A and B are shown apart, each in its own frame.
Chain A
Amino acid sequence: MQKKFFLLVIITLYLFVLSGCWSSKEITELMIVTGMGIDRESDTGEYKVTLQIINPGEIASQTKTERLEVTTYQTTGKSIYEVMRRFSTEVPRKMYLSHIQLVIFGEELAKEGIGKSLDFISRNNEFRTDFFILVSKGSRAEDVLNVLTPTEASPSVSLYSSINVSEQIWAPTKGVHLDELLNTLVSDGKQPVLTGVKVSGDKDKGDEVSSLEQIKPAAITKITGFAAFNKDRLVGWLTEKESKGYNYIISNITSTVGTIPCEDGGIIALEVKKAKTELQSNIKSGKPSITIKTNIEADLGEIQCDMDLTKMSIIKQIEEDAGKQVQTLMEHSITKAKEEFKSDIFGFGEAIHRQHPKAWKKIKGNWEETFPDLEISFDINYDIRRLGTISDTFQKDIK
């Protein structure tokens, strides 16, 4: 008993000493990467990776110097993993990828296909899955990462929060996480979209502190409409309106504001509180069709024309107009996807797959060809719930 006990104690003590701290890494030994940009060099075909890192010493208020809070590093290589290791030749510490906020693909690379570069990101254990994946519109990914932001120390963190906020209150935005992207990539009834981002302003000046020393920065990053993909290749861009239509179709509206014109040339603004869309698929003699059923609840937020809101018929009229407008939005984005992209970004195929799995087996082989001819009908139910603190507008009484 006594011997066994001692043995146990000794073994336990060994456990401490032998294991040491083998997987520990001090914060001060890490470079916290917040943004990653992937481009392809057109001449060599190598990947060019841009990493935006935090410079913690500059964030601590006591030891502030003239240096910036963020820095970007760039290296090229044939594989992304290789590039990540090559960074050690330039950077004094280990690149720490767990806190990446954004992965941005350059437009050129996206057109060639992002599938191959996604492998590293999904395989590496340091990546969390809560970062957003974006495509830079009209520029390279590095350009986006090289723009300084006025309010947030790290531009990546700034863009990340901007996507989060915008997704809540502005219909045309949607952030895409890694797992969602991978799921749509491998599913055969839906094609991925990614958030677009662009640099507006003078992108050559955006990386200088002087850009922030004026009230209106020389360049800012801006979320734009969606980048539509076919498989892993970028096939085109949705405009703001089309993006809004897209979000209505995939039921990704939390809250937004829509405007409709009224008879005497004014504008009615409606705050959408709740929007729910269901895709209903029908198979008629082997031919699929889709009904988009949307229920929208909205509050009347602003009215600039002379209308008697106390009348039920007027409200009904507004509801109908607003419903029609949402339908137009949807139709626009569907037409673009059908005619321009030839890519089922809305997941109509998936809806058919879910509701008519047997029929889907027959269709799925040539879905890409059938999709542009897919018959789509709408069933929109627009509901105005509240009129705000006044009912009838006072504008007609202004003399």
Chain B
Amino acid sequence: VGLSGKFFKAKLQPSQNQSNQISEQQKGFLKESIQTNLDDNLTKLKDLLGNSSDVVFRTFILSGKRSIHLAVIYIDGLADSKAIQHFILESMMLKCEEKLQQSARADEFSIIKDFSITIGEIKTVNTWEDVSNSIMSGDSAVLIDGYAEAIITGTKGWQDRGVTEPTSQNIVRGPKDGFSETLRTNTALIRRRIRDVNLRVESKNVGTVTKTDIAVIYIEGIADPEIVKEVHSRIDKINIDAILESGYIEELIQDETYTPFPTVYSTERPDVIIANILEGRVGIVVDGTPFALSVPAIFTEFFHASEDYYQRADFSTLVRIVRLSSFLLSLLVPAAYIAVTTFHQEMLPTRLLISLAAAREGVPFPAIVEVLIMEITFEILREAGVRLPRAVGSAISIVGALVIGEAAVTAGLVSSAMVIVVSFTAITSFVIPAYNFTMATRMLRFVFIGLAATFGLYGIILGLMALVLHLCSLRSFGVPYMESFGPFNMEDQKDSLFRFPMKKMLTRPKLIGTTNKVRQTQVDQYEEKK
């Protein structure tokens, strides 16, 4: 793995890489300070932003002791035009002039800033870089003739999808709100549920062109400071032009690139992120996507659904066992079918063998070819179904069901036993709650099919051994991936394969919530009655 890392390491140096993005001239200009002359400033800014139709330059004049030329600059669509109209333009034009004329002070800039702009978030900047960044993020800049400073007012207000039900992780019992594409909405969803002064929402700006806002969220005193530091340093090391989705961040900060297993947890559900933060993990919310990340991620986490904690403990344990066995089944069933039917027929009960032989009679392909045909067909159907427009989707599923289920068997190309194997495998792969984890099983399934076809059960066992070794070698932000199994940890069995009753879940995961271990103290609800 280290080798391939070297192999793929880009020869391009960051400075060369970015030369086409921002010209040296622009770079120099951005560092410059604002001038006092408004006309000069506006020309420069127009020059910088080019001929973009969505940038609004509103100039107007206030008559104070002298006539003051002002300009409000914002981006149409990103900024809330009503707020600009009411709390900047209206309040300045209608209520400010009097103040300007009466005021003894000559400093018109601070009068306008302190008395007339009726907007909560406000700051003063003096470089073009700050001005342009603020405008791009939806704020508006107020430039006043004669002052080498700009007032930035928080007028962010673009069209938002709103808080809707998550589509990728459905739930029967539990909160139905999901993250949306706006960072602020998402952090608010988290903050709303954790009313603790120690909740930290630390913002960062990643992507040299997109300048995407991301927030690192954790609880001071619960999260391991080492992990928080590591998250910060890994994000800071990112030097890329664009972050379009949290998947970019996930790939760029994960410990191990060459593994099919995800080592960063991603979810659309605020309650999951909050639960993870409370266990001592660090959440990463990225602007522009409803998928938030949490690290460190461990193997068992991907088999947990938030619902596990909202319903009875005994049932959750049962469901988790079902999920884990589904994982193994979806990984191994086609492989085991091949191994048993082509190498180890003596292992089957006689009647089963006769039934299998009857089903396979007349199929012209060896079992491996049959399995590959069906598995690949299924992958094609699945891929087609995911991206098709909804109207065409049903057509595909009908054709797919007919092709796989009926015609292929009737034509004698595949056996009906094979159809059962593939459909069963397909169903089991949907059981795991984390979608990105099922991709691992989808890929590895083919590896196991190959092993089974060449070495039989022997190959499957070898493959499983290699898989376990690989899983044990993985780490996520320094935490062993197989935490609670390898290294074995008695205490954490409460919430890995099992889900103990809430009264018994007293501590945080041992290797994650190290700084503040205790979640609750044991209380006997019926003490007094005794």
Contact = CB atoms under 8 A, between A and B. Distances in A.
A associates with B: yes
Given A26-B367, A30-B357, A101-B350, A57 B362 contact: yes
A25 interface: yes
Contacts of A154: 354
Contacts of A128: 346
Interface of A: 1-2, 5-6, 16, 19-21, 23-28, 30, 32, 34, 54, 56-60, 63, 96, 98-99, 101, 126, 128, 153-154, 157
A27 B456 contact: no
B360 interface: yes
In this complex, which of B3, B342, B350 has the most chain A Cβ atoms within 10 angstroms of its Cβ? B350
Nearest to B340: A27
B450 A27 contact: no
Contact of B3 (A2, A28, A58, A98): A2
In this complex, which of B355, B356, B455, B456 has the most chain A Cβ atoms within 10 angstroms of its Cβ? B455
A228 B362 CA distance: 46
B355 A59 contact: yes
B454 A60 contact: no
Contacts of B343: 23-25
Nearest to B412: A63
A96 B354 CA distance: 12
Nearest to B341: A27
Contact of A27 (B350, B351, B357, B455): B357
Contacts of B353: 27, 32, 99
Nearest to A54: B354
Interface in B399-448: none
Interface in B365-383: 366-368
B61 interface: no
8 contacts: A25-B343, A27-B367, A32-B353, A32-B357, A54-B357, A57-B362, A59-B354, A128-B346
Contacts of A60: 358-359, 361
Given A25-B342, A99-B346, A101-B350, A16 B454 contact: yes
B363 interface: yes
A376 B243 CA distance: 95
Given A5-B3, A59-B354, A157-B351, A26 B366 contact: yes
Nearest to B7: A2
Given A24-B342, A24-B343, 11 more contacts: A19-B454, A21-B342, A25-B345, A27-B341, A27-B367, A56-B360, A57-B361, A59-B357, A98-B346, A99-B346, A126-B346
B367 A56 contact: no
A26 B361 contact: no
B285 interface: no
Given A1-B3, A20-B454, A21-B454, A28 B346 contact: no
A176 B359 CA distance: 32
Contacts of A21: 342, 368, 453-454
A60 B137 CA distance: 68
Contacts of A98: 345-346
B354 A56 contact: yes
A59 B350 CA distance: 13
Contacts of A5: 3
A27 B356 contact: yes
Contacts of B456: 23-24
Contact of A63 (B346, B362, B366): B362
A102 B265 CA distance: 57
B232 to A, nearest CB: 32
A52 to B, nearest CB: 13
Contacts of B362: 28, 57, 63
B345 A27 contact: yes
A24 B346 CA distance: 12
Contacts of B357: 27-28, 30, 32, 54, 56, 59
A63 B359 CA distance: 10
Contacts of A58: 358
Interface in B32-89: none
Contact of B450 (A16, A54, A101): A16
A19 B350 contact: no
Nearest to B368: A21
Contact of A32 (B3, B342, B354, B359): B354
Contacts of B455: 19
B350 A99 contact: yes
A30 B358 CA distance: 12
Interface string B446-465: 00001001111000000000
Nearest to A156: B350
Interface string B7-21: 000000000000000
Interface string B208-219: 000000000000
Contacts of A2: 3, 6
B345 A56 contact: no
In this complex, which of B353, B354, B355, B362 has the most chain A Cβ atoms within 10 angstroms of its Cβ? B354
Nearest to B343: A24
Nearest to A160: B350
Contacts of A63: 361-362
A15 to B, nearest CB: 8
Contacts of A34: 350
A96 B342 CA distance: 13
A19 to B, nearest CB: 6
B526 to A, nearest CB: 46
B361 A56 contact: yes
B360 A28 contact: yes
B61 to A, nearest CB: 71
B345 A96 contact: yes
Nearest 8 pairs between A and B by C-beta? Answer: A98-B346, A56-B357, A59-B358, A60-B358, A56-B358, A24-B342, A57-B361, A56-B361
Nearest to B348: A99
Contacts of A20: 454
Contacts of B6: 2
Contacts of A32: 350, 353-354, 357
Contacts of A19: 454-455
Nearest to A58: B358
Nearest to B455: A19
A98 B361 CA distance: 19
B235 to A, nearest CB: 30
B454 A28 contact: no
B354 A26 contact: no
A157 B350 contact: yes
Nearest to A161: B351
A255 B456 CA distance: 42
A155 B80 CA distance: 85
Nearest to A17: B454
Contacts of A54: 354, 357
